[in-house]
């Protein structure tokens, strides 16, 4: 196996045994980027200098959990002095004066940051086709999308352009691309990972999380990035866990719910069969599996596409050409400058969501749309709480299909439907992980979604680790 195919824990073992040096590892991943990046297009910015600085500081951080490990970061997380564009013309030359807390923790753990990855503009999209700069390609089939909005991070991990990456998840933007690219993606409980320095899309839904090659790496990265941050008012105070303690092959007595309403939806036959086959494996290993009843996922999707655009409308109001970012040069007065800056700086999907959100928040429509969506949100959260009183986990598919073809989905409403299984999790604020569970008839990866109660990351990791061992497909890599 090539160096760039190895996981974080395998690379750490090689370094500890003296079989590889961090310099050799960094070179292998840099060479891999040079070899495949022109086809995959995972990165907006390759940070050679930052990677070299991380390598030079190895001796001072050699005890760190990520010492000498090449990591990528989604381009909506602030990196001191390094372009953070959110894949938007609005911020194409913006260089933050500080690091996001999650990035700071990577640096403190000794990570070698290889670059900033492509994404849907301001994290609005499900295919990374909404990037203002270029499309990212799925390493399993370059004609297909990597998912979104963290498509660049998922593709970089799947292509061996980094050992792992950070993504952000507002309605499935870690888990859906992880499913499309055959890697592991975890959305933690809301507030478990600091959002300080994450460029806001929908503040009550956004969450940073890891995208990795296997479940053990996800636990390692969670140990690095999770924890209270006084700079984030939504950050949760509590005891810090060691998530690697949950890496056990044991689901005996674990109660797993299968939501009938989700599996009755019209979605890809190969996806359904693969997920249900994986559930049977867990059942054979000792898990107790029962059908449960939940609020129809379509209600969560409808509520999400009111709440998220409303929050985006507010958050993106700051991009007006005055403070930072793009300023239009084609304006006769300040009012025209505001209008032209936003017209030139934002792409179609961002404009669409700002318009929807502004409408939902406007006088006369607030009660009919935004307030009603928030009431539905409470019902959905209560629904999850009710089920988790009796069950440890819930299993659904991650996405209704495998990776779609680039350019095939021009209807925004059809694209929104790809989030049908992931959006309810963000609405409720609970954690969920996408783990590979098989392949379709065209050899494209399929993801299974494990959903846990608030602060239930440990249970998710334990069940996912067990499933990974039962299926024995985590070492299968995309061939480029």
Kindly list the catalytic residues: 74, 149, 173
Helical (H) or strand (E) element with 143: none
Token pair for residue 292?
Answer: 């449960």
Beta bridge partners of 212: 164, 184
Place of tokens 């640096």: 107
Beta bridge partners of 141: 138
Cβ pair 155, 397 in contact under 8 A:
no
Q: How far is CA 419 from CA 84, 249, 253, 365, 406, in A?
A: 26, 30, 31, 25, 17
Token pair for residue 276?
Answer: 């249900």
Q: How far is CA 197 from CA 51, 250, 252, in A?
A: 20, 37, 41
Count of residues in the chain: 480
Token pair for residue 93?
Answer: 């030359």
Token pair for residue 228?
Answer: 């209270």
Q: Which residues contact 447 (CB under 8 A, 6 or more apart)?
A: 175, 176, 178, 179, 180, 182, 185, 397, 398, 399, 434, 435, 436, 437
Token pair for residue 410?
Answer: 């021009």
DSSP states along 408-457 = ----HHHHHHTTTTTHHHHHHT--EEEEEEEE-TTS-EEEEEEE--TT-H
Beta strand pairing status for 184-187 and 112-117? Answer: unpaired
Cβ pair 387, 404 in contact under 8 A:
no
Distance CA 96, CA 93 (A): 10
């Amino acid at each position: 196996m090539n160096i760039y195919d190895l996981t974080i824990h395998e690379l750490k073992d090689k370094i500890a045994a003296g079989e590889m040096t961090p310099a050799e590892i960094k070179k292998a991943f840099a060479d891999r980027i040079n070899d495949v990046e022109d086809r995959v297009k995972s990165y907006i910015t390759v940070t050679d200098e930052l990677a070299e600085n991380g390598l030079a500081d190895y001796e001072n951080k050699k005890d760190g959990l990520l010492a000498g490990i090449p990591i990528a970061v989604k381009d909506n997380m602030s990196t001191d002095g390094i372009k953070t564009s959110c894949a938007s013309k609005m911020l194409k030359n913006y260089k933050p004066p500080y690091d996001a807390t999650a990035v700071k923790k990577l640096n403190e753990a000794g990570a070698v940051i290889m670059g900033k990855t492509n994404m849907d503009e301001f994290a609005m999209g499900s295919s990374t086709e909404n990037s203002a700069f270029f499309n990212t390609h799925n390493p399993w089939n370059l004609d297909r999308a990597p998912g979104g909005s963290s498509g660049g991070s998922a593709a970089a991990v799947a292509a061996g352009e980094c050992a792992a990456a950070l993504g952000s998840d507002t309605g499935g933007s870690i888990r859906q691309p992880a499913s499309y690219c055959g890697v592991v993606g975890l959305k933690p409980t809301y507030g478990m990972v600091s959002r300080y320095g994450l460029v806001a899309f929908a503040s009550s839904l956004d969450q940073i999380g890891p995208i990795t090659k296997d479940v053990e790496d996800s636990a390692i990265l969670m140990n690095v990035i999770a924890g209270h941050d006084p700079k984030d008012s939504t950050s949760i105070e509590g005891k810090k866990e060691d998530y690697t303690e949950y890496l056990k092959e044991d689901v005996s007595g674990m109660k797993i719910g299968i939501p009938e309403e989700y599996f009755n939806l019209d979605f890809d036959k190969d996806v359904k069969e693969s997920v249900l086959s994986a559930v049977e494996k867990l059942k054979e290993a000792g898990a107790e599996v029962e059908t449960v009843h939940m609020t129809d996922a379509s209600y969560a999707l409808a509520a999400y596409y009111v709440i998220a655009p409303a929050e985006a409308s507010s958050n993106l109001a700051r991009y007006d050409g005055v403070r930072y970012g793009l300023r239009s040069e084609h304006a006769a007065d300040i009012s025209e400058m505001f209008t032209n800056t936003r017209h030139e700086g934002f792409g179609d999907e961002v404009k669409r969501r700002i318009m929807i959100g502004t409408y939902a928040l406007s006088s006369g429509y607030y009660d009919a749309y935004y307030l009603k969506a928030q009431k539905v949100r409470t019902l959905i959260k209560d629904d999850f709480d009710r089920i988790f009183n009796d069950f440890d986990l819930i299993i659904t598919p991650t996405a209704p299909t495998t990776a779609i073809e680039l350019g095939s989905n021009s209807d925004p409403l059809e694209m929104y439907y790809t989030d049908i299984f992931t959006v309810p999790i963000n609405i409720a604020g609970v954690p969920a992980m996408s783990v590979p569970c098989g392949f379709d008839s065209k050899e494209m990866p399929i993801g299974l979604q494990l959903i846990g109660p608030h602060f239930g990351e440990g249970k998710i990791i334990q069940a996912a680790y067990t499933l990974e061992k039962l299926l024995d497909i985590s070492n299968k890599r995309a061939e480029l």
